[in-house]
Amino acid sequence: MSHLLLTTTPFAGHQPPLLGLARELVRDGHRVTYYTGARFRDRAEAVGATWLPWREAGDFDDTDLAATFPTMRTDASLAAMFGSFEQVFFGTGPGQLRDLLRLHEFDPVDVVVSEVTCVGGGFLHEAAGVPWASFSLSPLPLTSRHLPPSGLPVRPGAGPVGRARDAALRALVGATVGRRFRELINAARARAGLAPTTQLGFDSLCSTALLLGQGVPSLEYDRPDLPAHVHLVGDAAAGTRAASAEPAWLRHLDPGRPIVHVTQGTLGTAGFDLPRAAVAALAGTPAQVVVSGDPALVPAAPNVLAPGWVPHDLLLPRTAVMITNGGYGAVLAALAHGVPLVLTPGAQDKPEVARRVAWSGAGLDVGGRPSPARLRRAVEACLGDSTQRRRAHELAAELHLAGGARRAADLVAELR
């Protein structure tokens, strides 16, 4: 039996894949410590892990970031993105390391697995030599000489001209955004007592021993230089999105009418009210529209239901189409159930997610601010005998075969 440490930032969307992994590791007989915010303690303990709180790191509520980070901007600007990394992801890193070192000194850790935005796991590896695996919850962030820069919502170029364009973009982004990211991570590393990194972008946040990735090859652009230690495991969160009992509202849905599920998530939502736009597009249509989120913010319509929290593992098997702003967890949940997607991408990594889904053929990217008419046409296209529906079913099979949390647990157990 090994003592395995799983670390994740206290965001709701970051929990399901790590909880799925923790559940499998506990089933295998390992002792699992789960490091995250107090809001998710019960979920960690429910899968058999021991919860470790964010103390020195400074816990926060992801539904009210301004309470802890009052100067951080929440718009879709580049400055806001840098601010989130400076204050939330990188800024908490030195405190994370202190929390994890205290645990390791008291109860030695055999392996640490950290989701990529939770930098404390990598810091622990460097400071104490603990074997380290990282887990990418978004499309793979590693740079590649065959692709445009990670996070840039453009598809890889074709032919000599396209490859030259991608090389120029990599150089430009590396000299600007990449350099600024390196400055921010090195400031955090200095406060943690670690030497600076020379890597750009997210590469320094990814383990060189084992990098687990959500998703499958059909959602990743071809890259011949993908390292052998990178493994795509599908949907590690499968089975973690249900409720303890079926909600009453779910039992009263009409099985003879198509269900369209609308979810905007909690991050990268500034600037566009997706629930309001979806209701404007679909009110009065034959669809049953189920909107997740705060019911008070959802306009009323006879065919619209706003129950608040929606258990995806119970609703998605009945869903015909999902409208989302491109959060990768929600996208994978839908595709794992063969549900085609209509994407209105928000900020952060969401435009890139939307383009990859459209590239895969399993959904339609209608842009960040679609008109109700355009949104309705996209939903109607996916409801028909569509290419998107067929591809979504093909990706569901691919996600299942990738192994999910079970495969991830096996790979972690091999790391020593």
For 302-330, give one letter per residue: b (16+ CB within 10 A) or e.
Answer: ebbbbbeebbbbebbebbbbbbbbbbbbb
User: In terms of DSSP bridges, do strands 211-214 and 288-292 run parallel, antiparallel, or are they unpaired?
Assistant: unpaired
- Among 373, 355, 371, residue whose Cα is nearest residue 363: 355
Give the model's pLDDT for residue 268: 46
* Structure tokens given for 373: 């008419």
Three-state DSSP class for residue 247: coil
What is the residue-level pLDDT of the chain in tens, covering all 416 positions? Answer: 799 999 999 999 899 999 999 999 999 999 999 999 999 999 999 999 999 999 999 999 988 888 888 888 776 677 777 888 888 899 999 999 999 999 999 999 999 999 999 999 999 999 999 999 999 999 998 999 999 988 777 889 889 999 999 999 999 988 898 899 999 999 999 999 999 999 888 899 999 999 999 999 999 999 999 999 999 999 999 988 776 678 888 888 998 999 999 997 655 445 568 889 999 999 989 999 999 988 888 888 899 999 888 888 889 999 999 999 999 999 999 999 999 999 998 777 888 899 999 999 999 999 888 999 999 999 999 998 889 999 999 999 999 999 999 999 999 999 97
Can you give the pLDDT at residue 266? Answer: 57
Contacts (Cβ under 8 Å, ≥6 apart) of 342: 321, 322, 323, 324, 363, 364, 366, 375, 378, 379, 382
Ranges of each domain in the chain? 3-239+403-413, 248-400
Q: What is the DSSP string of 121-136?
A: HHHHHHHH---EEEEE
List the helix and strand counts (H, then E) for the chain. 16, 13
The DSSP output letter for 317 is G
Query: Under CATH, which number does the domain 3-239+403-413 receive?
Result: 3.40.50.2000
Q: What pLDDT, on a 0 to 100 scale, did the predictor assign at position 201?
A: 81
Q: Are 155 and 222 in contact (CB under 8 A)?
A: no
**In this predicted structure, what is the pLDDT of residue 270?**
52
CA dihedral over 37, 38, 39, 43, signed as positive or negative: positive
- Alpha-carbon distance of 50 to 189, in angstroms, equals 27
d(CA 302, CA 17): 35
Distance CA(153)–CA(230), nearest Å, equals 22
> What's at 106, amino acid-wise?
F
Residue 284 token pair: 């009065």
CATH fold label, 248-400:
Rossmann fold (3.40.50)
Q: 3-239+403-413 and 248-400: same fold?
A: yes
